[in-house]
Amino acid sequence: MRRRAGMPKFKKKHLAAPTLNYTRRGFRLKEGRLHLAGGIAVTVVWSRDLPAEPSSVRIHRDPVGHLYPSFVVPARVEELPATGRAIGIDWGVKDIAATTTSDAHDLPHPQYGRAAAAKLARYQKMMARRRPPKGRPASTGYRKAARQAAKAHRKVARQRADAARKWAKKVVRDHDVLAVEDFTPKFLARSTMARKAADGAIGATKNALIEMARKHGRIVHLVNPAHTTMDCAGCGARTKHALPLSERTYTCTACGVSCPRDKNSARVMLLRAGLDPVGVEGVRPDGPPARQAA
């Protein structure tokens, strides 16, 4: 069968990834309904008003089976008032997701995920019990459990994304310049599920922060994290050995300064971004720092 140029191709249900793209000519919005090429019309539940005319739309189907259209609109910077303040951000691993040079902006790991996590584990066990033998179709019970597991998973992810966005908004509102540890997941290949989950949460939080800063025209410096736990934010000296993770206090052998390990790392972020961590907490030194693409 020939298809018209520019129209999305429908693939076999079992082989297709659950996303479809429609460019300008492939969709139309009319009275809150989304009309797609091929005579499909769906009613959209809007999460917020579109800020501008969309140039394309991507339809994504989640594991629960719901359809999510994402509209692409031209980016627009929403300026926030200048604050004259800068902040250094270090990603933690243990009980704090992000430590900053300002105590008021630390982000603790969320606790509320526990109930949902227990639920998720229950449905995953249920799936394991009902798993069909190789080559046999899945039973109704298995599919039901899989759907419940996907739902629980989605709930955890949503709560986390919501908390990350709220925190990012606060950080971005209160600071003009952000020096952010350029975190890359370290444990994905070889570690416990808890570590992998923490890695994923930090990656998502970092992305939310960068996106928020870009939206509001703030400056982001992504800082190479190498040796940040070994350097002294006070005098710049580097210790010979990395601190073991159990050691929560950084003590400098060169200048004798002693401070919480994460706070020291967050200050090193500021220092490496060319900002001044000493003196008044978080205040930007004279002269604008070089702008760096995030």
Report the C-alpha gap between 198 and 17 in whole angstroms.
Answer: 27
Residue in the structure block whose two tokens are 């046999």: 136
Question: Quick one: tokens of 170?
Answer: 């606060």
Quote the least distance from Cβ 85 to Zn ion, whole Å: 24
* Residue 238, strand partner residues: 231
With respect to Zn ion, which residue has the nearer C-beta, 188 or 254?
A: 254
Q: Which residues contact 97 (CB under 8 A, 6 or more apart)?
A: 91, 107, 108, 109, 110, 198, 201, 202, 205
To the nearest whole angstrom, how small is the minimum distance from the Cβ of residue 180 to Zn ion? Answer: 23
Looking at the Cβ atoms of 157 and 230, the one nearer to Zn ion is 230
Least distance from Zn ion to the Cβ atom of residue 254, Å:
5
The least CB distance from residue 248 to Zn ion, in Å, is 17
Nearest-approach distance from CB 236 to Zn ion, in angstroms: 7
Closest CB to Zn ion among residues 123, 250: 250
Which residue, 120 or 232, has its beta carbon nearer to Zn ion?
232
41 versus 254: smaller Cβ distance to Zn ion = 254
Q: Which residues of this chain interact with Zn ion, rule CB under 5 A?
A: 232, 234-235, 237, 252, 254-255, 257
Minimum CB distance to Zn ion, residue 215 (Å): 37
First to last CA, the chain: 45
Phi and psi for 9 in degrees, rounded to 5?
-90, 135
Name the strand (E) or helix (H) holding 107: strand 107-108
Measured at the CA of 181, the angle between CA 163 and CA 249, to 5 degrees, comes to 90
Angle, alpha carbons 184-185-189 (nearest 5°): 140
**What element of type H or E holds 23?**
strand 19-23
- Shortest gap between Cβ of 289 and Zn ion (angstroms)? 23
Residue (188 or 237) nearer to Zn ion, CB: 237
- As given in the structure block, the two tokens for residue 134 are 């190789």
Nearest by Cα to 263 from 282, 289, 244: 282
Cα–Cα distance for residue pair 24/16, rounded to 1 Å = 22
User: Residue 107 or residue 271: which is nearer to Zn ion going by CB?
Assistant: 271
